[in-house]
């Protein structure tokens, strides 16, 4: 039997480092949860909903994504959503995942922080026992909201600080530079939380500099536009900052005109620690293996390059040394 690209990618041991759990809400589950919670959706069918997933830019997507999340009401809803993601991740060869959630998307419509976090954590625990996938949770602040709201969210999270690995920053990048959240990130850092931020997705390379210098990030989400600044590229390479790159997201949000123009191999060629991730797979047409496959085909990536991308995912994960070595050995045994 030939080892096709697809079977190679599915078996390649990998970590997912950029996945919004709300962005893994498949239309079928959205309809099921709407029914369970007796809510009406403004779409006639799953097909009708899917046909609305045609985005011109990030904001276009965010409007639909926040509306979709409204079907999530109970702890059981968050649990089911999370376990459904891990079922897909297990099929894609994911050994470890560090997933995002957006607490403010839920608390702002009256869902307690505890409901969301407990449901997600119990889904993560179920995935660990069912699929042996390890995971960590990162809570993101919505950057279109203000600093005070982010501080409120950070305080709400305090009882769970031992179960939350870090904080992130997402939502509309244009007009909301990282510096707006410098003080919240400093407070989270003092509490021992890891720090990541979306930057350089739609915003300029200057936003990546700000995320580094003012938010003191441990990992950079997207970072595509860093490629506009040679000094920044050299800095990211020298410090081996991990970039969580999301090819199908970049395509669907028109960060790149087509996947043939995707810069993933340019990033590797410049010694950037790039990784492949799925961002919001229910909305962008594919989970992590589909992201690997689409960009591998479009850019003619070699198996050595795909293995480097997988290695980078374990190097960039927030793992202790023993677990990291264990996963890297599994990759060495495979490749
Ligand atoms: N929230 C969910 N996905 C996002 C993305 N790609 N960029 C910014 N915010 C997001
Ligand atoms: Zn994202």
* Residue in the structure block whose two tokens are 């078996």: 11
Q: Mind listing the pLDDT tens digit for each residue in 278-306?
A: 999 999 999 999 999 999 999 999 999 99
Q: Is residue 277 part of a domain?
A: yes
Other CB atoms within 10 Å distance of the CB of residue 273: 23
Q: How far is the centre of ligand 2, averaged over its atoms, from the C-alpha of 211 (Å)?
A: 15
Query: Where does the pLDDT of residue 259 fall: very low under 50, low under 70, confident under 90, or very high at 90 and above?
Result: very high
Q: Is residue 35 part of a domain?
A: no
Task: Find the catalytic residue in 16, 22, 173, 201.
Answer: 201
Q: How far is the centre of ligand 2, averaged over its atoms, from the C-alpha of 219 (Å)?
A: 13
Q: Is residue 44 part of a domain?
A: no
Q: Is 201 a catalytic residue?
A: yes
Q: Is residue 89 part of a domain?
A: yes
Closest ligand (CA of 18): 2
**Predicted pLDDT of residue 151:** 98
Q: Mind listing the pLDDT tens digit for each residue in 31-68?
A: 999 999 999 999 999 999 999 999 999 999 999 999 99
Mean pLDDT of 177-198: 98
Q: Is residue 281 part of a domain?
A: yes
**Closest by CA position to 143, among listed 209, 67, 198, 222:** 198
**How many domains does the chain fold into?**
1
Residue range of the domain that includes 191:
3-25+78-334
Ligand 2 being an ion, which residues bring their Cβ within 5 A of it? 279
SS3 helix, strand, coil % of the chain, rounded to 5? 55, 15, 30
| HSE-CB of 275 using CA atoms within 13 angstroms | 30
Pocket of ligand 1 (CB under 6 A): 20, 23, 58, 170-171, 198, 201, 249, 279-280
- How far apart are alpha carbons 188 and 194 in whole angstroms? 8
β pairing state of 219-222 and 242-245: parallel
54 Cβ neighbours under 8 A, 6+ residues apart: none
Task: Identify the burial level of 274 via C-beta atoms within 10 angstroms of its C-beta, where 0-12 means exposed, 13-18 middle and 19 or more buried.
Answer: buried
- The residues with which 243 forms a beta bridge, in sequence order, are 220, 274
82: pLDDT strictly greater than 90: yes
Q: Is residue 58 part of a domain?
A: no
Query: Where does the pLDDT of residue 3 fall: very low under 50, low under 70, confident under 90, or very high at 90 and above?
Result: confident
Q: How far is the centre of ligand 1, averaged over its atoms, from the C-alpha of 197 (Å)?
A: 10
Q: What angle do CA 239, 170, 194 make, to 5 degrees?
A: 45
Q: Is residue 188 part of a domain?
A: yes
* Residue in the structure block whose two tokens are 């739609």: 202
Averaged confidence pLDDT in the chain? 98
Share of the chain above pLDDT 70, in %: 99
Could you tell me how far CA 113 lies from the centroid of its own chain? Answer: 20
**Nearest CA residue ID for atom 10, ligand 1:** 171
Q: Is residue 13 part of a domain?
A: yes
**Predicted pLDDT of residue 1:** 53
Output the domain CATH number for residue 309.
3.20.20.140
CB 41 within 8 A of CB 124: no
CB 10 within 8 A of CB 328: no
Q: Please tell me whether residue 184 adopts helix, strand or coil conformation.
A: helix
- How far apart are alpha carbons 83 and 193 in whole angstroms? 25
* Residue in the structure block whose two tokens are 């007009």: 175
**Predicted pLDDT of residue 2:** 65
CB 116 within 8 A of CB 21: no
**Predicted pLDDT of residue 281:** 98
């Amino acid at each position: 039997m030939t080892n096709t690209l697809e079977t190679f990618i599915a078996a390649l041991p990998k970590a997912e480092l950029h996945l919004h759990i709300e962005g893994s809400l498949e239309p079928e589950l959205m309809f099921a949860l709407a029914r369970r919670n007796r809510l009406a959706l403004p779409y006639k069918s799953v097909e009708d909903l899917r046909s609305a997933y045609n985005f011109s830019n990030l904001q276009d997507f965010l409007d639909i994504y926040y509306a979709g999340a409204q079907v999530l009401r109970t702890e059981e809803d968050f649990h089911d959503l999370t376990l459904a993601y891990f079922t897909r991740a297990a099929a894609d060869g994911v050994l470890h995942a560090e997933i995002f959630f957006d607490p403010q998307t839920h608390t702002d419509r009256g869902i307690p922080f505890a409901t969301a976090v407990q449901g997600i954590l119990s889904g993560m625990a179920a995935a660990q026992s069912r699929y042996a996938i390890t995971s960590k949770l990162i809570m993101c602040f919505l950057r279109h909201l203000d600093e005070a709201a982010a501080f409120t969210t950070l305080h709400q999270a305090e009882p769970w600080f031992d179960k939350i690995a870090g904080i992130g920053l997402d939502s509309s990048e244009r007009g909301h530079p990282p510096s707006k959240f410098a003080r919240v990130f400093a407070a989270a850092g003092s509490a021992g939380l890891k720090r990541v931020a979306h930057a350089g997705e739609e915003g300029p390379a200057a936003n990546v500099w700000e995320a580094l210098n003012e938010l003191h990030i441990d990992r950079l989400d997207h970072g595509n536009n860093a490629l506009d600044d040679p000094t920044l590229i050299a800095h990211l390479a020298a410090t081996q900052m991990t970039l969580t790159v999301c090819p199908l997201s970049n395509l669907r949000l028109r960060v790149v005109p087509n996947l043939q123009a995707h810069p993933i191999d340019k990033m590797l060629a410049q010694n950037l620690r790039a990784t492949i991730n799925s961002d919001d797979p229910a909305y962008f047409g594919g989970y992590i293996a589909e992201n690997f496959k689409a960009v591998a085909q479009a850019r003619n990536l070699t198996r050595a390059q795909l293995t480097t991308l997988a290695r980078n995912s374990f190097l960039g994960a927030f793992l202790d040394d023993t677990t990291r070595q264990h996963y890297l050995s599994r990759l060495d045994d495979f490749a």
